[in-house]
Structure 1
Amino acid sequence: MDLRIFTEPQQGASYDDQLRVAKATEAAGYDAFFRSDHYLKMGSADGLPGPTDAWISLAGLARETSRIRLGTLVTAATFRHPGPLAISVAQVDQMSGGRVEFGFGAGWYDAEHQAYGLTLPPLKERFDRYAEQLEIITGLWKTPAGETYSFKGEHYTLTDSPALPKPAQSPAPPVIIGGSGKKRTPALAARFADEFNLPFADQETAAAQFARVEAAAQEIGRDPKEILRSVALVVGVGRDDAEVERRASAIGRDAEGLRKSGLAGTPAEVVDRIGQWREKTGITRVYLQLLDLSDLDQIDLIASEVAPQLD
């Protein structure tokens, strides 16, 4: 079972805050450090000192870490044009020595689009654009060196692109797709995803969505086992009940509620909970959403007392 640290810097974190967490993640032996790609805080957080750009931040982390995988859950298709985005991600992959994973979604948070002058199209158009972007970005990466790439869709047209630079990973960085849409999301995952992630869902919902992805893959003749299954869950692990309560309170959550909806409790409770998830849904990877980026002790606690008990 892979354990990855997943952060939400738009809630209030500088690049230096992220660097401390990424270095602690690497030192503790985790598989990866991921971050959200958002430009506006959510809920009651103050969001200070303000947002950081996901791919600029990951470029910095690529040079200041050496082993952990780096990526987004998830970059919004509404934020960037596909050609320049393919260049940015490929460059960060080169800068990291081939450690990037590309989480990519259609975009959803209306308030951040309004706050920064971004367009959030209606849902159907948004998914149409998202599908074209997936085609373009993966097409650019996979075009053999020395050849050109062209694409003509309803929303984007590329003509004789040199399709450069190439990512360090060949033919491309892993693509992560997620979400709860019942038709188009599984269909796109079947075509493009190396991993399908379901964030903040219950086990029954996750199992049903993974089954839809599996069916969509079979429909186009792809082996569903090629698509890794993962979930993202809010974490609140403590050595005893008092520490669990303290960690839940620090992120504005109720400990009992967090036990039910996330991964909260003592190490033994969390090991059992992850085992239930694996049995019910077939996941092999968990993104631990760490909302308190000052809590490096929790990173070490999970690494030392939870991870060794997972196969």
Structure 2
Amino acid sequence: MKVMRISIWPGAGQPYGDVLEAARHAAETGWDGVWIADHFMPNDGTGADPLHPVLECGSLVAALGAAVPRVRIGTLVYGNTYRHPAVLANMAATVDQITGGRFTLGVGAGWQINEHDQYGLELPPIGKRIDRFVEALHVLKGLLRSPRTTVHGEYYQLTDAVCEPKPVQDPMPIMIGAKGEQRMLRVVAEHADMWNTWGRPDVIAHKSAVLDRHCASVGRDPASILRTAQALTVVDGPIPDDVSMPVIGGSRKQLAADIEEYRAAGVDELIVPDGLLGTGATKFTAMDTLLSLVRP
């Protein structure tokens, strides 16, 4: 049986104490990782209160890295349009130092429109956004993995730049969040140590096969890229009628079947958002059930 990691994704729209409790429960009970999304406000069109508080990702991963032992800590994923990649490289190296080498730098091209509109951040058309993201990856990989980095690009210019201290890990893994099959999955094939996207097992199997083909075209061993995926998860209860995102579970039997389909699709790590797991003791019971299904 393929060994599949399982990690929790506590939503940043809840109090820090609740995020910390979920992360500590994961660490104490045998989960593999904790992931935090990079957003500043709820997305328009989701029905969420537009003024609902959302904690900032970089601060959260640093705090969790210091307070929670053993598990890997990662970003799911930093939006490239929010921070200069040289600033992000220094943030990532610092969190890896804090965690003693347990950090995974998850990055993506950026997408949430209302955040860019409210903060006056440029959100280029998708083609230019990907071009900018690829340049950012050269900046990140250079600063995190080389003594000095020079990049003379269209979007970023670095001259003999340093980033010290380096991460504890050599190299620190870079995960790319991507679903676009023509360009973004090729960027994954060229640059990523790990890949992430939303989807039920059939979607993940299809996109993973597309990634394999991109790997073949660039001369990359597909097995060198770890595959991670997530869907909203329901444990021992009905699936809400108004859910628009991919969702798994419901009954325990269906949840076990969904987990096995992810395993068969080659998923290396299943990431579980906590949004439909309940709160307090209910959430921890759901987490324990999930862990028992992934590791019978």
TM-score, normalized by length of structure 1?
Answer: 0.86
Cα distance in 2 between the residues matched to 1:90 and 1:292: 33
What does the per-residue CA deviation read over 1:136-189, in whole Å, with 9 as the maximum and x for residues that have no partner? 10111110xxx3211111111100112322011112x21111322112112111
Deviates further, 265-274 or 206-215: 265-274
Asked whether the equivalents of residues 13 and 293 of structure 1 are also in contact (C-alpha less than 8 Å), the reply is no
What does the per-residue CA deviation read over 1:68-103, in whole Å, with 9 as the maximum and x for residues that have no partner? 111111110000001011000110110111111111
Alignment of 1:274 with 2:250, yes or no, is no
Cα distance in 1 between the residues matched to 2:195 and 2:167: 21
Match of 1:205 among 200, 203, 206: 203
Cα distance in 2 between the residues matched to 1:218 and 1:99: 30
**Offset of 1:298 from its aligned partner?**
4.7
Match of 1:174 in 2: 173
Cα distance in 2 between the residues matched to 1:47 and 1:18: 20
Alignment of 1:46 with 2:13, yes or no, is no
**Offset of 1:52 from its aligned partner?**
1.7
Cα distance in 2 between the residues matched to 1:148 and 1:80: 20
Indicate how the Cα distance of structure 1 residues 198 and 22 shifts in structure 2: closer, same or farther if over 3 A, else same: same
SS at match of 1:90: helix
Asked whether the equivalents of residues 231 and 286 of structure 1 are also in contact (C-alpha less than 8 Å), the reply is yes
Match of 1:22 in 2: 23
**Offset of 1:17 from its aligned partner?**
2.5
Indicate how the Cα distance of structure 1 residues 309 and 206 shifts in structure 2: closer, same or farther if over 3 A, else same: closer
Match of 2:7 in 1: 4
Match of 1:254 in 2: 241
Q: Percentage identity across aligned positions?
A: 31
Match of 2:183 in 1: 184
Match of 1:241 in 2: none
Amino acid corresponding to residue 291 of structure 1 in structure 2:
G
Indicate how the Cα distance of structure 1 residues 3 and 299 shifts in structure 2: closer, same or farther if over 3 A, else same: farther
Match of 1:304 among 283, 288, 294: 288
Asked whether the equivalents of residues 230 and 285 of structure 1 are also in contact (C-alpha less than 8 Å), the reply is yes
What does the per-residue CA deviation read over 1:27-64, in whole Å, with 9 as the maximum and x for residues that have no partner? 22211111110011132233666222101111111110
Indicate how the Cα distance of structure 1 residues 261 and 114 shifts in structure 2: closer, same or farther if over 3 A, else same: closer
Cα distance in 2 between the residues matched to 1:176 and 1:162: 22
SS at match of 2:96: helix
**Offset of 1:292 from its aligned partner?**
5.3
Cα distance in 2 between the residues matched to 1:277 and 1:133: 31
Match of 1:119 in 2: 122
Cα distance in 2 between the residues matched to 1:121 and 1:130: 11
Indicate how the Cα distance of structure 1 residues 178 and 162 shifts in structure 2: closer, same or farther if over 3 A, else same: closer
Indicate how the Cα distance of structure 1 residues 16 and 310 shifts in structure 2: closer, same or farther if over 3 A, else same: closer
Match of 1:216 among 199, 214, 239: 214
Aligned pairs, number: 290
Please, which runs of 5 or more residues in structure 1 have no aligned partner?
A: 239-243
Indicate how the Cα distance of structure 1 residues 153 and 100 shifts in structure 2: closer, same or farther if over 3 A, else same: same
SS at match of 1:3: strand
Asked whether the equivalents of residues 24 and 299 of structure 1 are also in contact (C-alpha less than 8 Å), the reply is no
Indicate how the Cα distance of structure 1 residues 138 and 293 shifts in structure 2: closer, same or farther if over 3 A, else same: farther
Task: Report 1:74-223 matches (<5 A).
Answer: 74-143=77-146, 147-171=147-171, 173-199=172-198, 201-223=199-221
Cα distance in 2 between the residues matched to 1:310 and 1:134: 33
Please, which runs of 5 or more residues in structure 2 have no aligned partner?
A: none
Deviates further, 64-73 or 115-124: 115-124
TM-score, normalized by length of structure 2?
Answer: 0.90
SS at match of 1:196: strand
**Offset of 1:223 from its aligned partner?**
0.8
